Amino acid sequence: MVRKKWGVLLVVHGSPDHRGNLHALEAYARLKDRLGGEIPLEIGFIEHAQPSVDDSLDLLAEKVDGVALVPLLLFDAGHSKNDMSSYIKRARKLHPGLEIIRDWALGTDQTVVSLLLEILPPIEDNVRETVVIVGRGSLDANANASLFYQGRRLWERRKGTLPLFSFISVTEPRLSSLLDSLPTDRQDRLVLLPYFLFEGVLMDRIRNLGASYREKNAFSGTILVTPPFGDHPVFLDHIANRINRLLRTGKTPMPRWPVVHSDESAEQLTLTERES
């Protein structure tokens, strides 16, 4: 029996800011090193950058018998639920002999909580601290709820005051509104914790809102905006492990969060992927 040769396609959102795409490419290069070069690994951007997911899929299809799609996405919202299905459907039509499996977005992965604990400063008894977890925001209710779930798990391990939650776009509560309502006399340190993988326009917006809060309120305490974590060693090690596990099983895993679609055909496609 001939063993199948597998390749991996890392699916990344992409940014209108070239710094975000460079950041993603740096993480991709480091991940490639971790996999040792034995597994063909390509990157594809959903939007804003090249190569596209479709182009990278076509490239891999010329070299391997099967492709594992690994979305470097935080939550299973529209891109993970719908776009990934479209990529798979197209690839199966153009490359009928190609076997395709996929992973899901990170979702409520405990490893993300662990690396956030490394990024955050330690709690100090004499420092009054406010932590604001900042998500991108989504039209998908489950994706937004997952941010709150992760924040609670973070607090269970770190303790201190309960974190506040906000979003930078799409949905409420917005970070700008939350900061407008935040008293300045109740904290010595304000920590803005972006739940983001890579640099980009939204990271800049978060930093600017932090600076604006200081200026408008003459805040004399510390304001810390933690960095995105897509290139964090703990994160990259975990993604490498997930890739190896996916290739070892050779099957699309069950999602870790409900991915039920209102559209019947989309729901059926998701079920087909899970069975493949």
Tokens in use for 241?
Answer: 């492990």
**Which residue's entry shows tokens 């209710």?**
141
pTM: 0.88
pLDDT of residue 276: 37
As a whole number, mean pLDDT of residues 4-33 equals 96
pLDDT of residue 256: 65
pLDDT of residue 163: 97
pLDDT tens digits for 90-120?
999 999 999 999 999 999 999 999 999 999 9
In the chain, the domains with their CATH numbers are 6-107+231-275 (3.40.50.1400), 110-225 (3.40.50.1400)
3-state secondary structure of 136: coil
% of the chain surpassing 70 pLDDT: 91
**Which residue's entry shows tokens 């004399």?**
220
Task: With a cut of 60, say whether residue 185 has pLDDT above it.
Answer: yes
pLDDT of residue 269: 38
> ∠ CA(68), CA(69), CA(74), 5° rounding?
140
Task: With a cut of 80, say whether residue 190 has pLDDT above it.
Answer: yes
As beta bridge partners, residue 71 has 11
Task: With a cut of 70, say whether residue 258 has pLDDT above it.
Answer: no
| Alpha carbons 197 and 66: distance in angstroms, whole number | 27
| Alpha carbons 276 and 200: distance in angstroms, whole number | 35
pLDDT of residue 1: 38
pLDDT of residue 82: 83
% of the chain surpassing 90 pLDDT: 81
pLDDT of residue 266: 38
